[in-house]
Amino acid sequence: MLSFHLGGVHYFCRHYDQAIDQFQKAIELDPSFVPTHQLLALAYARSGDFHKAAEEAEKRIAMGRGDLPAKGFLAVINGLMGNLDVTRQVLNELEECSKPPHFSHAYVCAGIHALLGEKDQALQWLDKAWQGRAGRLIYLACDPAFVNLHGDAGFDAVLRRFGIAG
């Protein structure tokens, strides 16, 4: 867990090479810990190594028996690669499964909309993630998925409303 969390710190600080190294160490210790593969795939994608990102995402999907959250990570990776058809297809599935009152995949939907440059939809889905009490909202201010929204008045207002930024 320590290796995983240290890798997460590097990932959220956008130190992708250090994150990759740390996640690889964590996988050596416990190859079955699913979240390590998720963040390793995203770190590879954000560092531009899309081949390794896709490999890790496929491992994650296999570990989760093809579950929708795993596909969400693959959608993000495909979006970073420019494969927007795959990204939109998975986004549609995620949105369909994120109906009230749970909004189970709302945070991932928001991140994908942000990646696609769809600011208004990203903010709407962040509100749904808030309503669904998404635990991942604690990472919102530093999550690379939302980096293109930083400095946007609407995003800053969401951070303040959620009590994330002062």
Please report the pLDDT score of residue 143 as a whole number: 95
Q: Indicate yes or no: pTM above 0.85.
A: yes
Rounded Cα distance between 71 and 74, Å, is 5
Nearest to 74 by CA among 90, 62, 63: 90
Q: How far is CA 1 from CA 23, 31, 34, 93, in A?
A: 10, 12, 12, 31
Quick one: average pLDDT of 37-52?
A: 94
SS3 of the chain: helix, strand, coil, percent, to 5: 75, 0, 25
Tens digit of pLDDT for each residue in 80-134?
A: 999 999 999 999 999 988 888 778 899 999 999 999 999 999 999 999 999 998 9
Q: What percent of the chain has pLDDT over 70?
A: 98
* Residue whose token pair is 């927007």: 84
Rounded Cα distance between 72 and 39, Å, is 12
Q: The CATH number of 2-161 is which of 1.10.760.10, 1.10.10.60, 3.30.360.10, 1.25.40.10?
A: 1.25.40.10
71 — pLDDT class (breaks 50, 70, 90): confident
